[in-house]
Chains A and B, each alone.
Chain A
Amino acid sequence: MEDFSLMTLLAVFEEMFGRGLFWAMVAVAVAITLAWVYVLIRDRAMSMRKFLLAQLSMPVGGIAAVWFVLLITNSGLRDIGGPIDWIVLLGVFVAGAIGFAILVYVVQSFVRGKAADS
């Protein structure tokens, strides 16, 4: 693992998910993040009500992310061995949870619009 670079890391992710799926997921993640920034600017405030629902949906995103990663790596929860496995899995869960929370917030903002909150 000498000279482990960003290019290698990208190659690992391409290998993990397949090139098409990986870059499609990156594109979706970027699009959702941009949409989130857009609604924040549009609404000029974080809506606590939307944020509450977004937070409540976080476990769903976390579990979905863990399930997805286990599926594509031909493994299951029974394979989780030592502490490092739990840390990596927790990282996947957290990433999935945050990503999904942002998605839920953005969807609410588009569906309900700014007015629904006031």
Chain B
Amino acid sequence: MEFDKLTASRRGFLGLAGAGGAALALGGAPAEAAKVRTNARILILGAGAGGAAIANRLSDRLEGAQITVLDGKQEHWYQPGFTLIAAGLRPASYSKSSITGWLPRDITFINEYAAELDPEANRVVTTGGQRIDYDYLIVSTGVVLDWDAIEGFDLSMVGPETGIGAQYASPEHAAKTWAAIDRFTSEGGVGLFGRPETEMKCAGAPVKITFLAEDIANTKGNRDKCEFIYTTPGGALFGVPVIHHRVRQIMDERDITYNYRWKLLSIDAQAKTATFDTPEFIETVEWDFINVIAPQRAPQVIRDSGLSWADRWTDEGWIEVDMQTLRHARYPNVFGIGDINGVPKGKTAASVKWHLPVVEDHLVSEIAGREGTRLFDGYTSCPLITRVGRAMLVEFDYQDNLVPSFPGLIAPLEELWISWLMKEVALKATYNAMLRGRA
């Protein structure tokens, strides 16, 4: 429709271009809605991507609200950067910043974790013993990585000496993972990659690091010395069927072996072996490099609080929110943002970006005495890196539909340089804008 109008009328096009220019000139100043006055006490658990961003948004929208953010960490981690760090393309410092630098000034930040959460009494007790009563609770704690679930593994093992990687653990561990991958792709051997059985944040990352390591071995001229094996406890390489088939096709083309229904049970760092539970038997495989990704669960305080689903993800503890409004099914004054949500899709920063306006709308509307209208459709995106310099910009929703942001321009299942640029240079800038509540 728009394009028809453009070609039909040059004046129309110029007008549109002018309007675009004017919009650009005004950039960074979204239309400011009138502030809603309230004295509501809003508690935000977690100051990661979701927590920091919603604190900024609510601070902009509400006047007089007592907003408290609770997080025991000192550092904010830009987690989409971990893959780049683990591929030697960025230093560990790339993903690190001060947590307080992202929070608005007019809120209270308590540098402690929640120790107890009672949604019946609308109360949280911190690890330092402070009692916080709230009117509204926003849960944005993210996941905890259950490293102990991998028998024989300890985070202190990660590095080039052992050949063990753990890119999810921290920026430093991602950098050590790169040192291990660098050595493996130079010396050759068997490289084991894979994902855990649980729901996980950015399910594309285990695939990306496999592709990157294979590409790096290739660039070094050592591809024939290296064997690449990818294991998954499920029956597919990616949750969305159309993307699974594309990933499988690329793995076939690049001679990367993949094993379905293989679950990592334990590793032996001395013997350099890994043991998997497979459909037929317990399989032990020798490796020269292994990338360990821990099973992921809700923090214990959340699992103990009664906010989790009672009959779904029972071993993982994701909270029972409505998949479209992100409001808790049993406690209407509780909302979830980000990885903690028990919804079928969307443990990525891109999903957080789309959770934010939904939670903001429903919360602010309720305070203003209206009903919120915005809904989350399951949007998730993942610039699926296939090698240094190329990626596929896959975006999908609850229905496993592809929902490209730039239809006709950026093909979702095509390996493109522009998609690589999005991941390598555009993503962090837009992520930072999101944290500030501006995108």
Task: Please list the residues of chain A having a beta carbon within 8 angstroms of any beta carbon in chain B.
Answer: 1-9, 11-12, 14-16, 73-76, 78-82, 84-85, 88-89
Verify A8–B420 contact, CB threshold 8 A.
Answer: no
Can you list 29 residue pairs at the A/B interface with Cβ under 8 Å? A4-B430, A4-B439, A5-B30, A5-B438, A5-B439, A7-B27, A7-B438, A8-B27, A8-B28, A8-B433, A9-B24, A9-B27, A12-B430, A15-B426, A73-B420, A73-B425, A74-B388, A74-B389, A74-B424, A75-B388, A75-B390, A75-B421, A78-B389, A79-B389, A81-B417, A84-B409, A84-B410, A84-B416, A84-B418
Distance to closest chain A CB from B211 (angstroms): 13
Which residues does chain A contribute within 8 Å of B438, judged by CB atoms?
3, 5, 7-8
Verify A74–B417 contact, CB threshold 8 A.
Answer: no
Verify A76–B27 contact, CB threshold 8 A.
Answer: no
Given contacts A2-B439, A81-B414, contact A74 B89 (CB under 8 A): yes
Chain B, Cβ-Cβ closest to A89: B417
Number of interface residues of B (CB under 8 A): 34
A88 to B24, CA, bound (A): 20
Verify B418–A88 contact, CB threshold 8 A.
Answer: yes
Which residues does chain A contribute within 8 Å of B390, judged by CB atoms?
75, 79, 81
A9 to B23, CA, bound (A): 13
Tell yes or no: B428 within 8 A of A by CB: yes
Given contacts A74-B389, A75-B388, A80-B417, contact A6 B424 (CB under 8 A): no
Please provide the chain B residues from 337 to 375 with a CB less than 8 Å away from any CB of chain A in the complex: 353
Q: Which 8 A-B pairs have the closest CB atoms?
A: A6-B27, A79-B389, A5-B27, A7-B28, A75-B389, A11-B429, A16-B425, A85-B417
Which residues does chain A contribute within 8 Å of B415, judged by CB atoms?
81
Given contacts A75-B420, A81-B415, A81-B417, contact A8 B425 (CB under 8 A): no
Tell yes or no: B74 within 8 A of A by CB: no
A82 to B420, CA, bound (A): 12
Verify A1–B420 contact, CB threshold 8 A.
Answer: no
Distance to closest chain A CB from B155 (angstroms): 28
Q: A5-B438, A73-B425 are in contact. List 6 more A-B contacts (CB 8 A).
A: A5-B28, A5-B30, A73-B420, A74-B389, A79-B420, A85-B418
A2 to B411, CA, bound (A): 18
Chain B, Cβ-Cβ closest to A3: B439
Please provide the chain B residues from 142 to 165 with a CB less than 8 Å away from any CB of chain A in the complex: none
Which residues does chain B contribute within 8 Å of A74, judged by CB atoms?
89, 388-389, 424
Tell yes or no: B432 within 8 A of A by CB: yes
Distance to closest chain A CB from B49 (angstroms): 16
A6 to B30, CA, bound (A): 11
Distance to closest chain B CB from A75 (angstroms): 3
Which residues does chain B contribute within 8 Å of A79, judged by CB atoms?
387, 389-390, 417, 420
A78 to B416, CA, bound (A): 10
Which residues does chain B contribute within 8 Å of A1, judged by CB atoms?
405-406, 430
A2 to B353, CA, bound (A): 9
Verify B433–A88 contact, CB threshold 8 A.
Answer: no
Which residues does chain A contribute within 8 Å of B433, judged by CB atoms?
5, 7-8, 11
A73 to B417, CA, bound (A): 10
Which residues does chain B contribute within 8 Å of A81, judged by CB atoms?
390, 414-417
Tell yes or no: B33 within 8 A of A by CB: no
Which residues does chain A contribute within 8 Å of B389, judged by CB atoms?
73-76, 78-79
Which residues does chain A contribute within 8 Å of B425, judged by CB atoms?
12, 15-16, 73
Chain B, Cβ-Cβ closest to A88: B418
Which residues does chain B contribute within 8 Å of A2, judged by CB atoms?
353, 439
Chain B, Cβ-Cβ closest to A75: B389
Verify B411–A82 contact, CB threshold 8 A.
Answer: yes
Chain A, Cβ-Cβ closest to B354: A2
**Contact flags (1/0) for B395-420 with A, using CB distance below 8 Å?**
00000000001100111001111101
A85 to B418, CA, bound (A): 6
Tell yes or no: B271 within 8 A of A by CB: no
